[in-house]
């Protein structure tokens, strides 16, 4: 199975890049399943029903939401009805929506997607992501009732992300980090067969400060005033993510490759 994960979409540049390029990549790379992290797709903060629908129309099978999932108020009722949009699973059960699901890929096989939020340096104080993953994995088996399992771990600390990769190695197909917007140079297959990358990077304008026009972040750094306005950068967007081929029998990774398309960074 050929699976593509695209990192955090930031603003219109990121959305336009996904809408423009994903349909072609889906055909040319013979993709069976696509996950898009839409965490910053609506003006740089959260998602709206419209931005999520754009990703589905472009070829995404699942959209994940990250720590900014609650930023746009209209997304809350949409979460309750759209099971292909995931908020982090380790929010309390009373939170709208869900953070996992089993979906049908283009080749007819079943794929589980799990979306988790890290705890280190995050203010949300969510449940333990490791224990949350354990609980979800009790009911599935790769090569049995699901062909592949994808984990989007939306976390700040590289140590927490690499720990999750080691913890789930051999139990899931892919552990890929999101949230920090810069692609890491460590895409690889772990010893027990799980594809891993600490951060997939973002889909957006890289001539920026993590996808935002430099003026706003620089004002914050130089003045220490936390409310300086931040706007997404408006240049051409680059798609960054992780491309994985899995074994249809065991569900583990055969190959994985960090992608930057169409512009090399």
- Which of the two residues, 95 and 226, has the higher pLDDT score? 95
Going by their DSSP bridges, the two strands 85-86 and 100-104 should be labelled as: unpaired
First to last CA, the chain: 27
Selected catalytic residue, list 68, 100, 179, 181? 68
- Which of the two residues, 263 and 148, has the higher pLDDT score? 148
Name the domain count of the chain.
Answer: 1
What pLDDT does 106 receive?
Answer: 92
DSSP state of 212: B
Q: What is the mean pLDDT of residues 7-14?
A: 97
Its pTM stands at 0.96
For 100-128, the pLDDT digits (tens) are 999 999 999 999 999 999 989 877 779 99
- DSSP symbols for 162-206: HHHHHHHBTTBSEEEEESS-S--S--EE-TTS-EEES----BB-S
What pLDDT does 25 receive?
Answer: 98
Q: How far apart are CA 220 and CA 229, in angstroms?
A: 9
Give the angle subtended at the CA of 127 by the CAs of 126 and 131, to the nearest 5°: 145
Predicted confidence (pLDDT) at residue 3 exceeds the cutoff of 90: yes
Q: How far is CA 53 from CA 38, 130, 182, 242, in A?
A: 11, 30, 25, 22
Q: What is the mean pLDDT of residues 125-150?
A: 95
The CATH code of the domain that includes 112 is 3.60.21.10
| Contact (Cβ atoms closer than 8 angstroms) between residue 202 and residue 7 | yes
| Contact (Cβ atoms closer than 8 angstroms) between residue 189 and residue 195 | yes
Q: What is the mean pLDDT of residues 12-36?
A: 98
Instruction: Tell me whether residue 68 is one of the annotated catalytic residues.
Output: yes
- Residues of the chain above pLDDT 70, percent: 100
DSSP state of 127: P
Predicted confidence (pLDDT) at residue 73 exceeds the cutoff of 90: yes
Q: What is the mean pLDDT of residues 76-99?
A: 95
For 150-161, the pLDDT digits (tens) are 999 999 999 999
Domain of residue 124: give its range.
2-261
Predicted confidence (pLDDT) at residue 228 exceeds the cutoff of 80: no
| Contact (Cβ atoms closer than 8 angstroms) between residue 34 and residue 4 | yes
Q: What is the mean pLDDT of residues 242-251?
A: 96
């Amino acid at each position: 199975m050929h699976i593509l994960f695209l990192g955090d979409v930031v603003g219109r540049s990121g959305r336009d890049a996904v809408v423009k390029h994903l349909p072609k990549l889906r055909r040319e790379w013979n993709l069976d399943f696509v996950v898009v992290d839409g965490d910053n797709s609506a003006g740089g903060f959260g998602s709206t029903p419209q931005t999520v629908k754009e990703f589905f129309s472009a070829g995404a099978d699942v959209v994940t939401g990250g720590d900014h999932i609650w930023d746009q108020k209209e997304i809350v009722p949409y979460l309750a009805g759209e099971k292909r949009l995931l908020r982090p699973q380790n929010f309390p059960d009373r939170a709208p929506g869900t953070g996992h699901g089993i979906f049908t890929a283009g080749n007819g096989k079943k794929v589980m997607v799990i979306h988790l939020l890290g705890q280190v340096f995050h203010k949300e104080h969510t449940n333990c992501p490791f224990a949350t993953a354990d609980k979800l994995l009790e009911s599935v088996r790769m090569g049995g009732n699901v062909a592949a399992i994808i984990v989007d771990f939306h976390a700040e600390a590289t140590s927490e992300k690499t720990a999750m990769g080691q913890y789930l190695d051999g139990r899931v197909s892919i552990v890929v980090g999101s949230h920090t917007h810069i692609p890491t140079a460590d895409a690889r297959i772990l010893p027990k067969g799980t594809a891993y990358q600490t951060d997939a990077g973002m889909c957006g304008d890289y001539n920026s400060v993590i996808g935002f026009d430099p003026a706003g972040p620089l004002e914050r750094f130089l003045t220490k005033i936390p409310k300086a306005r931040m706007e997404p950068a408006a240049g051409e967007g680059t798609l960054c993510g992780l491309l994985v081929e899995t074994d249809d029998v065991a569900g583990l990774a055969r190959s994985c490759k960090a992608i930057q398309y169409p512009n090399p960074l």
